[in-house]
Structure 1
């Protein structure tokens, strides 16, 4: 992942080159292949380069238009290059010599702010218009590329990471207690919030326009839950999925360096891996590197829930891979926490992030710069469980019974559980559910019945109202299955997850790419009839059919997913008991205003007594510990009246302790 950064003095003051130098130094780890900065009057832009695509090898940023009116900085990989080259009439130049940033600048010159509607791929960019004295910024459809900014009456600054903004003396470092509450409640629905009151995220599929007098954000893409694709047969749907999915993978193989893929043995990662293997082979390119986590030393009872080696090995046995693995059962979930906090700039919720650190470290050692990742394939394709509620809502009782019975046979559960919990329960209005829980004495705070959030803090923040406001749209019992699917695909949780992953990849000099977040694939999967998502007990049925002849059948038709929680629960306590207990005692003042300490200590005692049994308690303890240790490392203020001096972020990241 490359980095971008920039400044616009809204009061007209000229940019001091030292300001850009501070930001560049803070983000240096993201640009091993060079850096550039430009400034003119009140505006300045910068970029740090990580070469990945062949076209990026000759890319130099910031980029100026021929007439000098526009300046652009970008972290981008475009998937519709040929289409843009034709539309922009750039065919007189060799495509291999046209960098993606040049296409974006040409698109902005031709179409202005609406250029983002014509771009396909992963991007974050900013354009300074000298004539209009305005800054225009944009982020890709799903938020793969990060974009943070600070905006006051006098200054707007942006960067790929928060540390780039904190390098400026003008940017305050005030703790955002609303974000603290969200973190403790595991609420990830605010698309803009950060742990810093004055720093915000630009949401996915959103543009930002700033002039001296105005600031405006605008969403440029939304999903359409009303459109349904109608084809002639199951086979036609499967063939269409396979074509779009293969194209999504092909676009993400563009690289001048070795390519890798994360491979667990699940349906999503295996589909990406096998498709990429076939495409690379057809292009005569080097074989695909795969990176997997294994857990051979876990107790047998726990290993059964997590071990996917039989599926992974079946994929690898199909040939043409260079396989690598890490021993995740020898890692600590908090072993690299200080380094993680340095890269993330915030407390974070990522119980399995330590595994990703190690996998990316292994990829770095192999010279891989592009790593394919199957994150959230479930969300894109959809398990299709909403079909049961839709059948119940339409009164199709016999079909509901048939589908529930098939699900029960697949998952060795009760058909009546599927009918009650997935068929009828979603149709009950939330007020009715709440009233029933109250009558039974089981009414709990909306953020969970085992939370350790201090009640006074929750009331002061208005957490109950905040949770209700974000969850209200999802509680409409009359939403169609497609509307629910669209809501899941639009959740800010996805961009939050991508931001975490981006910083992991950047810390290892890698660009992560996500075929399941291809806009074309997302729109296609959303448009599918619900019976193409769940049929006769098989979830993600269209994808399973599409992978015929690509995946080994044992993987194509596997029924269960692995659960990584056993390794997290056991390794956290085995490796970090001393540090967890230090949080309960030495770091208590840092979180005392936010956390019910008695509830926290009780949760820890339950978890410490039987670590394999108390997953919710382990998560609570980890979440508080992550927050407390981050607060301990940061000179933040809760005084709303004054900014703090900038903290230095210029030290070079050291090798990750968990990296092999």
Structure 2
């Protein structure tokens, strides 16, 4: 894992090396182990290295091909690099290092842009092709690794984080009003290629771009379809176990210690337990270099310690508990905003921030996390609405009745607040929209209220799963994950988003994802004997959350009130009188009509603008 940045002056102007050096310094936290800089007339590339694979000087970047014609800066990990190196050697490509970076470079030499189809991993990179006078930039299939850019036809600049781009004199700090509208009105984040800065875009996931004096080309190189219904239930469970073991084995490849974020839920527990199985097969004993990291909220409904201990007892892997504190969040909020670079929707992000800090404190450089399983395996109760609709459309009456009956027998289903999301078919964003339009400045709301979000329509379960994977859920979670981990120079890996594994899960019928009131059905069956029984049969779902409403009342009431009284930015978008009166009414008594997360949007947007001195 690393940080990258670069500039391509299309007008031929020579590169300002001092600017590149400042850009590199701004993302030093992404790679404190080494740094490099390359310039060639009107092209410049910089790299910050976090050494994970091939710790020698052979992994130094920017890396050049043996003839000097190609130069790469790369952020991420290619998990199938040993297999690709072997294939490329057989085709006559030479290698001077053991790094996955050189594998990408030689793959591009061999296959051109089609090299992307060969790569399995998380990545963003840029290759300067001197013979073609062309910059080739690419991002992995789900956007696990970030790639931001600026292009005005004269200057093309890119970076892993926007703070590096904002150092360029041509890139303004003007806010993107459309994105602000989507955030305040819909609560949407990371749903388009646009950022909160009007001048900066992000390269979409599964896309590459070519930049040269002849123009700018953006192209999608991968996609997937949901539910081709290939496997029956027995074969599906067996294949799940085989595929999951393959994915975990690859994601454990590292020349430094690997740890795990463990919440006590099904997904993170599955990763830890399968990793334990893999290590025992490899060495005959549990891994000595592994550690788990968990957030702990004693004496609250969010306390998952009993489930976490089930995993620890079975595997014997050491654990480090972290207890996030409300007061500490407020103290660290500006630093969290600085690293996230864009507003976030709530305080639960802070639990992961605290975990990543502890990971680094314990000397661990790599962690595995469970992002992506809920969206693919219908882990959220909201998916049941779409599933029942599918069964009814297919006239599978008896099946629909059985599934509905299984839900009626589950008390937890009615206690689960996700049910409200499930029944909101026509308004995918719930009642928050109706609330927030009343709070927006009339002129601001009028300018953007007629604009449709480019999200597609979730008319069935397959579409909803894909939207969660590409627009609603995964993109913002991955941004949180990347920035939280990189703030502490930690590489976070997400095995459930291995693209071959995603394609396998997409091929399963919905009945293997939801069955008889059980979510993630195929995983529960496939990992029987791997997971502790108590985890395998667990239906409640929490994840890395904080007691947000309690924290809000405990520490944020006065800071939020003060912020609303002394705004410098949001007053151009918001009807402040309405906002302040509503906030006082909701939190001045015992009855709260709107959740804390609703007011948090306005609060965090104002502080984001202050941290980044937004125009």
Superposition TM-score, scaled by structure 1 size: 0.86
Q: CA deviation at 1:182?
A: 1.9
- Once the two structures are superposed, the pairs formed by residues 134-145 of structure 1 within 5 Å of their partners are 134-145=134-145
Alignment match, 2:103:
103
RMSD, matched Cα: 2.9
1:557 matched to 2:537: yes
The alpha-carbon distance between structure 1 residues 602 and 247, as it changes in their structure 2 partners (threshold 3 A), is: farther
Whether the 8 Å CA contact 2:338–2:612 is kept in 1: the answer is: no
Q: Which stretches in structure 1 are left out of the alignment for 5+ residues?
A: 298-302, 435-443, 638-660
1:454 matched to 2:440: yes
The alpha-carbon distance between structure 1 residues 289 and 625, as it changes in their structure 2 partners (threshold 3 A), is: same
The CA distance in 1 between the partners of 2:331 and 2:128, in whole Å, is 42
Whether the 8 Å CA contact 1:72–1:127 is kept in 2: the answer is: yes
The C-alpha deviation readout for 1:123-180, integer Å capped at 9, x for no partner, is 1110111121111100001111110011112110100000111122222221111121
The alpha-carbon distance between structure 1 residues 170 and 180, as it changes in their structure 2 partners (threshold 3 A), is: same
- Once the two structures are superposed, the pairs formed by residues 488-503 of structure 1 within 5 Å of their partners are 488-491=468-471, 493-503=473-483
Alignment match, 2:489:
509
The CA distance in 2 between the partners of 1:404 and 1:419, in whole Å, is 13
Alignment match, 1:180:
180
The C-alpha deviation readout for 1:210-258, integer Å capped at 9, x for no partner, is 1123112111101123633234xx2321111111112222222122222
Whether the 8 Å CA contact 1:58–1:99 is kept in 2: the answer is: yes
1:625 matched to 2:603: yes
Superposition TM-score, scaled by structure 2 size: 0.92
The CA distance in 2 between the partners of 1:249 and 1:357, in whole Å, is 24
- Once the two structures are superposed, the pairs formed by residues 344-355 of structure 1 within 5 Å of their partners are 344-355=340-351
The C-alpha deviation readout for 1:511-540, integer Å capped at 9, x for no partner, is 011011111111111110111111111111
The alpha-carbon distance between structure 1 residues 119 and 493, as it changes in their structure 2 partners (threshold 3 A), is: same
Q: Identify the match of residue 530 of structure 1 among 502, 506, 510.
A: 510
1:338 matched to 2:334: yes
The alpha-carbon distance between structure 1 residues 614 and 223, as it changes in their structure 2 partners (threshold 3 A), is: farther
Alignment match, 1:247:
246
Q: Identify the match of residue 327 of structure 1 among 323, 327, 330.
A: 323
2:241 aligned counterpart, secondary structure = helix
Alignment match, 1:658:
none
Q: Identify the match of residue 457 of structure 2 among 462, 466, 474.
A: 474
Q: CA deviation at 1:18?
A: 1.6
The C-alpha deviation readout for 1:160-203, integer Å capped at 9, x for no partner, is 00011112222222111112112212123632111111111111
1:73 aligned counterpart, secondary structure = strand
Q: CA deviation at 1:101?
A: 0.8
Alignment match, 1:365:
361
- Judge which range, 322-331 or 144-153, deviates more: 322-331
Whether the 8 Å CA contact 2:4–2:46 is kept in 1: the answer is: yes
Q: CA deviation at 1:621?
A: 1.7
Q: CA deviation at 1:575?
A: 2.1
Whether the 8 Å CA contact 2:184–2:436 is kept in 1: the answer is: no
The alpha-carbon distance between structure 1 residues 615 and 63, as it changes in their structure 2 partners (threshold 3 A), is: farther
Alignment match, 1:483:
463
The CA distance in 2 between the partners of 1:254 and 1:56, in whole Å, is 16
Whether the 8 Å CA contact 1:178–1:461 is kept in 2: the answer is: no
The CA distance in 2 between the partners of 1:574 and 1:446, in whole Å, is 23
Alignment match, 2:572:
593
Whether the 8 Å CA contact 2:148–2:202 is kept in 1: the answer is: yes
1:355 aligned counterpart, secondary structure = helix
Q: Identify the match of residue 296 of structure 1 among 285, 293, 298.
A: 298
Q: CA deviation at 1:287?
A: 4.4
Q: CA deviation at 1:543?
A: 0.4
Q: CA deviation at 1:410?
A: 2.9
The alpha-carbon distance between structure 1 residues 553 and 525, as it changes in their structure 2 partners (threshold 3 A), is: same
1:235 aligned counterpart, secondary structure = helix
Whether the 8 Å CA contact 2:122–2:145 is kept in 1: the answer is: yes
Alignment match, 1:437:
none
Whether the 8 Å CA contact 1:351–1:568 is kept in 2: the answer is: yes
- Judge which range, 119-128 or 51-60, deviates more: 51-60
1:592 aligned counterpart, secondary structure = helix
- Once the two structures are superposed, the pairs formed by residues 58-69 of structure 1 within 5 Å of their partners are 58-69=58-69
Q: CA deviation at 1:450?
A: 5.0
Alignment match, 1:605:
584
The CA distance in 2 between the partners of 1:345 and 1:197, in whole Å, is 14
The alpha-carbon distance between structure 1 residues 149 and 189, as it changes in their structure 2 partners (threshold 3 A), is: closer
Q: CA deviation at 1:114?
A: 1.4
The CA distance in 2 between the partners of 1:64 and 1:30, in whole Å, is 21
1:465 matched to 2:451: yes
Q: Which stretches in structure 2 are left out of the alignment for 5+ residues?
A: none
